């Protein structure tokens, strides 16, 4: 199921990744969108590559991307590509190997397929999340590793966490989710809202690997919404997710 889509998304992510790596090595222009958000020529080029490879190959599938104008047409589609051409543009421009090409496919609002590719490290994380792959991973009762954003770490905005936690800043939230899905971290947590394109692919990877992922209030993530935002994130093995969610409930009383 979705083998053709997974193959196409993986190939497109590799192609986009090779192009943005080349562009950074040769030099490129960048600027700001609304507020502090950065955008570069590479973001636009990667968006073009992904759209041409996926939208053309799967007609009738909706399209939601950070670098494309959103329309209400996707809301009538059962299947929608949810794409961030470069998640972690700031890290990409700074030369930090913590950015990713993020390609998700959602079906009836549920994450069904995820591809997260880090061109700097050549890490490819790709999975279809139906059915989940193997039994849920357990974090255990000892020390656990929480992956957080650089800004959250620098500005002391990491939520308080229960037990023996240690934090590690990582740029791209899509990459953070992929690392937790791969067992290279135990928790992704943020109280800040995130755009659907930041998390759709990573959510699919997590679900495929038995990682529980919800918004910060513990509600399931829903995609292809009219306003494509999620209310923060908790992604962790089920036992750790339950501990964190319970702790948040206690401290908010």
List, for residues 54-70, the tens digit of each pLDDT value.
998 999 999 999 988 99
Q: What is the pLDDT of residues 199-238, one digit of tens each?
A: 999 999 999 999 999 999 999 999 999 999 999 999 999 9
Mean of pLDDT values over 146-155: 94
What is the average pLDDT across 88-98? 93
Long-range CB contacts for residues 28-33, cutoff 8 Å, separation at least 24: 30/89, 30/93
Which pLDDT value is given to residue 36? 59
Q: What is the third-level CATH fold of 144-251?
A: D-Maltodextrin-Binding Protein; domain 2 (3.40.190)
Domain boundaries, the chain: 3-128, 144-251
- pTM check: above 0.85: yes
Please list the alpha-helical segments (H only) found in 139-237.
150-154, 173-181, 196-208
Mean pLDDT of 73-100: 95
Angle formed at CA 89 by CA 114 and CA 232, multiple of 5 degrees: 60
Please tell me the predicted confidence (pLDDT) of residue 31. Answer: 60
CATH number of 3-128: 3.30.540.10
């Amino acid at each position: 199921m979705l083998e053709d889509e997974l193959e196409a998304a993986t190939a497109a992510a590799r192609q986009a990744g090779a192009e943005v790596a080349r562009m950074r090595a040769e030099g490129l222009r960048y600027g700001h969108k609304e507020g502090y958000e950065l955008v570069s020529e590479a973001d636009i080029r990667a968006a073009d590559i992904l759209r041409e490879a996926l939208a053309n190959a799967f007609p009738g599938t909706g399209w939601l991307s950070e670098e494309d104008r959103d329309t209400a047409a996707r809301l009538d589609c059962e299947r929608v590509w949810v794409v961030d051409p470069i998640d972690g543009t700031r890290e990409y421009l700074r030369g930090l190997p913590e950015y990713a090409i993020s390609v998700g496919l959602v079906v009836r609002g549920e994450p069904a397929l995820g591809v997260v590719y880090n061109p700097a490290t050549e890490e490819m994380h790709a999975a279809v999340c139906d059915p989940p792959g193997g039994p849920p991973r357990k974090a255990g009762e000892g020390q656990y590793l929480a992956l957080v954003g650089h800004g959250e770490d620098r500005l002391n905005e990491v939520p308080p966490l229960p037990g023996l936690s240690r934090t590690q800043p990582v740029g791209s939230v899509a990459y953070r989710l992929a690392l937790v899905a791969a067992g290279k971290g135990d928790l992704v947590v943020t109280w800040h809202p995130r755009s659907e394109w930041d998390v759709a692919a990573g959510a699919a990877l997590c679900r495929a690997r038995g990682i529980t992922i919800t918004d910060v209030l513990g509600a399931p993530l829903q995609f292809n919404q009219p306003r494509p935002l999620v209310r923060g994130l908790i992604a962790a093995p089920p036992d750790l997710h339950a501990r964190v969610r319970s702790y948040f409930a206690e401290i908010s009383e």
